[in-house]
Chains A and B, each alone.
Chain A
Amino acid sequence: MSDPNGTGQDGVDLDGVWVNVAAEVWRRRPGRLERATGRLLRSPGLARALLTTPSLLLPWLISSVLVFGVGALATLGVGQPVVWLVAPAIAAVGIAYAYGPEIDPAWELSCSMAVSDRMVLLTRTVVVFAVNAVLGLAASVVSVGTASQDAAAITFAWLVPMTAICALTLAVAVAARSANAGVAAGLGAWITTVLAQRAAGGQLTAVITDANLYFPYLAVAACCAVIVLYATRPQRGPR
C-alpha cells in the first residue's frame, strides 16, 4: 500500500499525475442506456444497480423471450392460451431473483450505502415487472388470434394475476430473505390456483377469464405490498 506523497526532483507530484493518468485509463464509460437511466432516476448509482440486476442481464432476458415464444407457439398450436398461464410464473421468478441477500454477494455492504437497498429493490422490481409485462403482451398479441375468448380482455387479463403472483413472490422472498422461498411460494400458489380453477370451472384458463377472481388477486397484491414495506423497513438490518 503506497505512500501517496511521492514527488519528483523538480517538485512535480508524480503520484498525483499518475493517479490522473490512471483515472483516465481505467475510467468505465457507461453505455447510453445507463446514462439515460441515470438521468431518468436522477441517480447514477441507482442506474448502475438497476443494470446489474441478475434477472435483467442478457442471458436471463433471452431465456425469458424463449419461454414466452414457446408459450406463444403452444397457444397457436393447441388453441389454449398457454402464454397467459406462463407469464405470471416467469415474472415472479424474475422478481425473486432481482435483489436480496442470496442474490447480492455484497449485500451487507450494500445495506450501508447512501442509495438505500429499499430503493434498489423497488426500482429493480418495477423494471423486472415492466419488462415481463411487455414480453407477455408481445406474446399475447402474436397468439391472440386463435384464442376463443374476447381478444382485448384476455390480452390484459393475465396482468392482474401476474401482479398478485409477483407481489406474493416478492413478499415471501423479502420476509424469508430467500429468493428460492419466494419462487416456491409464488409458483406453488399459481399452480394451485390454476389447478383449483380448472377443477371448478373445467377450463385451464378459468384462472384468468373468471372476473370474480380479480378482486381477490388485487387484495392479495395489496396485502403483499404492505408485507414488503414492513419487511424492508430500514430498522430491520441485515441477517
Chain B
Amino acid sequence: MNIELTDLTRTFGRNTAVRHISLEAGTGVFGLLGPNGAGKTSLLRMLATVLPPSSGTLRLLGDDPAKPAARRDIRRRLGYLPQNLGYYPSFTVVEFIEYFALLKEMPPGRIPKAVASAVERVDLGPRAQTKLRTLSGGMLRRVGIAQAVVNDPELLLLDEPTAGLDPEQRVAFRALLRDLGQGSTVVVSTHLVEDVGAACTEVALMDAGSVVFRGTPGELTALGERTGVGDSPLERGYTTALAAARS
C-alpha cells in the first residue's frame, strides 16, 4: 500500500479539519470528493508531507514521513499539485518545470528529457519557452500538472487539477490520469463528480473532516438510484451519501 492512514487527525486551533481518518490506497486513481471545507485540502497537504498530522499515524510509500531521511526519500518519489499553485512570472514553462525537477533531486542528466516529456503530456509543447506571466489560468494549471508528473511519481497528489481547464482539456486530463494510475497511486481532490466517474477506480467522500463514504464510483452511483438529488447518477449518489452522513 502506498498510502496508509490510521486515525489521522489535523486541528487548527479549535477547528478540526481532518477527523480520525483511517484508509489505505494502492495503485490506481483515488478520488476525494466533498463540499468546501470538508478537509480534502488538509488531507492532501498531509499526504504531500507539507502539513504534519496533529495525531494518528501516516505512512507513505512504506515509510514514515516524520523521519527526515524517509521524508526526503518520499518527496523524491512524490508529485504534488497544490490548490493554489503560485508561479514565478519571469520563468518559462520549461524553466519552471525544470526548477522543481531539480528540487525533487532528479539526476540532472535525466531532467531535460523528463521536462520535455512532461510538457508534451500536458500539450504545452508550443508554449514551452513562453513566460508564465503570459499564460492563461488553464495553461498555468497544466504547467502545475507537468511539474507534478515530471519525476514519474509513485504517489501523485492533485488538488483540484481540472480547475480552469476547458472541457476538451478535461477529457484529455482524465485520460492522462487513467494512464498515470496504471503504475502509481494518484489521489485527486475535486468538486467535480464527473471527473471521479470518468477517471477514478475508487472514491472517498469527505464531510466535516470525516470520510462518510468509501467505495467505487459505481457503488456511489448506486446509493442515489432512488433518492438522490442531482443531474447525473453520480451526483445523486453524492447528495444521498452526504444527506445520510448529516442526518
Residue ranges of A at the interface with B (Cβ–Cβ < 8 Å): 1-4, 15, 18-20, 22-24, 26-28, 43-45, 48-49, 52, 104-116, 234-238
Contacts and interface: CB of A to CB of B under 8 A. Distances in A.
A34 to B, nearest CB: 10
Contacts of B125: 22
A2 to B, nearest CB: 6
Interface stretch (B32-40, B82-90, B182-190, B234-242): B82-90
A238 to B, nearest CB: 5
Interface of B: 45, 48-52, 66, 68, 71-73, 75-76, 78, 80, 82, 84-89, 94-95, 98-100, 102-105, 108, 112-113, 115-117, 119-123, 125, 128-129, 142, 147, 169, 172-173, 175-176
Give the interface centre of A1, A22, A43, A113 by most chain B CB atoms within 10 Å: A1
A113 B101 CA distance: 9
Given A1-B123, A2-B123, A113 B115 contact: no
Secondary structure of the B contact surface, majority rule:
helix
Contacts of A106: 85-88, 100
A9 to B, nearest CB: 21
A114 B86 contact: no
Contact of B120 (A19, A52, A115): A19
A58 B120 CA distance: 33
Given A22-B116, A26-B116, A113 B123 contact: no
Q: Classify the secondary structure of A's interface with B.
A: loop
A27 B112 contact: yes
Contacts of B175: 1, 3
Contacts of A23: 112-113, 115-117
A27 B116 CA distance: 9
A108 B84 contact: yes
B86 A26 contact: no
